[in-house]
Every structure is written in C-alpha cells, then in structure tokens.
Copies of this chain bind each other. A is one copy, B any other.
C-alpha cells in the first residue's frame, strides 16, 4: 500500500493576511504524515515592482515576466515569502525546507513558446524530480515550494503556483497516495454564489458532467475543476477545494473531488 502524501496550495489571499497566514501555518504544522506546501506570490511582487519604478505587465490576467520582473519575483517569491513561511513553520516544530524548482533540481520547465503573446520568462512544467523530493520527505523535511522553476540551463522561470501544486501531486502520485488541497477564499465549490454555506460536498466525474450541463456553478470555477479532474485522471487520489479550515482534521465543510 502506498503512503499518503498531502500537497497543499495557498494563494495570495492567505499570504497577504498575516493573521490568516499564521492560522493556516498552525493548521498545516499539525497535519500528520508527509506533506508539501506550495505558495503563490500575492501582490507583494507587484508592489515592489512599482516601488522600483517598473511597470507590471499583464496579458489576459497573466503576468508577463520580462528580465526585470523575473528578478523581482525571484526576490519576493523565492526570498521574502518563502523564507518567512519557512521560519514560521520552524517555530511550529515543522521541519520546513524552502525550495524553488531549481533547488535539488526539483522541477524543470521550458520557457513558454511565443505565439500571439510573449510571456517572457514564464515556464511550463516538463518534469517533477520525484527522486529528489522523495529523498527530502524521507529525511523528515517538509518541502515548501515557491512558484519558480528552472530550465536546467541556468535560467529561472516564473510558473503558476496552481500548476506547480498539481504537477507535484501528479508526479508524486506514482509513489504516494496523493491528496491535493487547493485553499482559496470560499468554503468550497458553491451551488449558490450568494450563499457561502451552499458547498457541494462531493463531486465525481458523473456529477461534474451534470454540473457542467446544468450551468449551475460560477464560470471562474470551471477551469479550476477541469484542472482538478486532469490531476485525478493522472494518478492523484483526491482533490479538495475549500478555505484554510479544510486542512484541519476536524473540518467537514469543503468540496472533495474524485473520479
């Protein structure tokens, strides 16, 4: 039987709120068994960019990472955010080790090819180094990944944190029974956007088809669900979507996705 592994992703909404981050880290430190944290960047990178007199460039909601922006995201994601989280987890007796995809050659990617838009130093994941990450887990470390990868030729790349989390969960799925937790601001997938407690508790392939046909959930949620089912089809055991309370062992109100 495979050991269990939790891959937990938090986004900007948690990182930017000190009290919320601290509450999340306490819950994360208490989670039993092997676990991996993946964090997004939040607005700090954009703030620093602006303070340094640069103009953040976006296209269709995605950051265009020119050389200057890459320097800033490397500083903020890989330095400030990552090390702050690691130091706080250590204070909670959780033996965290902060990583970019370059560290331990953990995640290789290639620069996104230029089509209509040149995203600059944005990376699409090629391979997760299961061996390296397993070595760290087996030594009792808790890997904490920021949203940076590398191309194996010395170039760091900016990579979407949701994608990093799902690629890690998929890669590690060969050796572990992997659960992927996406923490966001809602309690789960909602039936009624106006009612925060209208959480759909379980969604499987069949109910997912029904939901899509009946057009009952928000548009923004559909690509998220698509990514989740993509991960489930590629060997991830279970995907959970909810707010940070979801990782509390006593929590019951969140959405669980299975095939």
CA distance A100 to B99 in the complex (A): 11
With A78-B78, A84-B156 in contact, is A104–B99 under 8 Å at CB? Answer: no
User: Is A96 part of the binding interface, using a Cβ–Cβ cutoff of 8 Å?
Assistant: yes
A78 to B100, CA, bound (A): 11
Q: Does A77 contact B (CB under 8 A)?
A: yes
Question: Shortest CB–CB separation between residue A243 and chain B, in angstroms?
Answer: 23
- Taken together as a complex, chains A and B put the C-alpha atoms of A25 and B96 apart, in Å, by 27
Most interface-central of A71, A74, A82, A102 (chain B CB within 10 A):
A102
Per-residue CB contact flags for chain A residues 35-59 toward chain B (1 = under 8 Å, else 0) read 0000000000000100111000000
Contact among B80, B86, B98, B152 for A90, CB-based, below 8 A: B152
**CB neighbours of A97 from chain B (8 A):** 97, 99, 103-104
Residue A198 is within 8 A (CB to CB) of chain B in the complex: no
Contact partner, A105, options B95, B150, B153, Cβ 8 Å:
B95
Say how far A86's CB is from chain B's closest CB, in angstroms: 5
Q: Pick the residue among B71, B78, B86 that contacts A102 (CB under 8 A).
A: B86
Nearest CB of chain B from residue A33's CB, rounded to whole Å: 19
Q: A139 — which chain B residues lie within 8 A by C-beta?
A: 135-136, 139
Copies of this chain present: 2
Closest Cβ of chain B to A2, distance in Å, is 21
- How far is it, in angstroms, between the C-alpha of A74 and the C-alpha of B99 when the chains are bound? 14
Instruction: Give the residues in chain B near A207, CB-CB below 8 Å.
Output: none
Q: Answer whether residue A76 sits at the interface, using C-beta atoms and an 8 A cutoff.
A: yes
Distance, CA A74 to CA B48, complexed state (A):
14
Are A74 and B78 in contact, with the CB atoms below 8 A? no
Residue pair A148, B90 in contact (C-beta under 8 Å): no
26 contacts between A and B (CB under 8 A): A51-B52, A51-B53, A52-B52, A74-B79, A75-B75, A75-B76, A78-B80, A78-B82, A79-B83, A87-B100, A87-B102, A87-B150, A87-B156, A88-B154, A90-B105, A90-B150, A90-B152, A91-B152, A91-B154, A95-B104, A95-B105, A97-B97, A98-B102, A98-B103, A135-B139, A136-B139
Q: Which 4 A-B pairs have the closest CB atoms?
A: A79-B79, A75-B75, A91-B154, A78-B79
